[in-house]
Structure 1
Amino acid sequence: MQDLTQQDIEALFTRADGSYLFARWSRALAPVVFGIEAESLPVIKGAIEAVAALAGLETVEMDPELGSNLMVFFCRDWAELPEVPNLEKLVPDLVPLVARLQGAGANQYRVFRFDAAGAIRAAFVFLRMDDQLAALPAEELALSQAVQTVLLWSDRAFVDRSPLGQLADGRVVLRPEIGALIRAAYDPVMPAVAQDKSHALRLAARMLPQD
């Protein structure tokens, strides 16, 4: 396993404006997936459940407050999103967002919602299945999205290197050091929200081998 230094961890939660911002989920995940064939649902939900288990999070059918709190939308064109019933109630300024995504040629976007303390209470994942995403195996795409939704990573995290790696037999798996970081981030002694870079030092310490 490649060790992550304090600086590596800082970078994963330091945004483009230089601010450090970390948040984790404060509740069980209640996922729902839209826009894919029924046979693909177990793959998507299986990846979410696997990453949730790594973090020590439960996955449930219903969130008592929101119903579903992790929504994943697949589409062929961003223009389809405003046609989804009531989506604009969940994602304010949906039409301007779609325009920005179209202008940027983006193929994925994530929106997080937070509770009063700043912990994650809901997330919305939007995937436009262009040639790049369509070429990925479903398991790889699902695992990548699950990892990127389990924590509030930096907007620059994983731009240069995927959170996933490939085994000698060709299987794609979560990089061990990223898995260890997720486990450390959900340690009960760690805060659910942090805005000071000293938090990265605490995470690094929790990833050290324990005697």
Structure 2
Amino acid sequence: EDFQSGKTDVLIGTQMVTKGLDFERVSVVGILNADAMLNIPDFRSFERAFQLMAQVAGRAGRRSRQGRVILQTKSPDLPLIRQVTEHDYFGLYVGQMEERQMFVYPPFCRLIYVYMKHKRADVLDHLAAEMGSRLRQVFGSRILGPDAPPVARIQLLYIRKIVVKVEPGASLSKVREQLLYLRQNLMAHPDYRSAQIYYDVDPM
């Protein structure tokens, strides 16, 4: 409210600043450490970074005023930075589709994330290794992991993650049957009864 009314000239915020705020007095917008968005271990990180930076840039020069956007990065030669500064959505799309096809990511496959949780890290590591081994017996090289996600512990539970790639045309009912069987079989083991195993299909 202070910024909108002119009592404050500078507004510092998180990504929430991009969500639905419309200030007509904004003439300069700064995006600090844009590289942090590009280093997230997710195949959608460039897409999301482009979307966020484009939204932030849209906060400057609203209505009839010309605005300026200052983007701080250690990688100014990165194609994504040029695509953002040139509003090259199509270039981003083409580059991302080529990369996803090369490394087999959606829309060229479907993803299932396998999450495992346990209060003891050592037990969880054994469970994750066993789950990974059994998944590879069924799905072969389409298995990635196990590894620790960016948030590897919530409250008292440690977390491990495995990625399953399902090629187009595969029988999803058979995939579901195999995953449910693996979970039931592993959790019948005395060491893993207190563990949690769940699946996230087509994660957002």
Q: TM-score, normalised by structure 1?
A: 0.20
Larger radius of gyration: 2
Q: TM-score, normalised by structure 2?
A: 0.21
Report 1 or 2 for greater relative contact order, CA contacts < 8 Å, sequence distance ≥ 6: 1
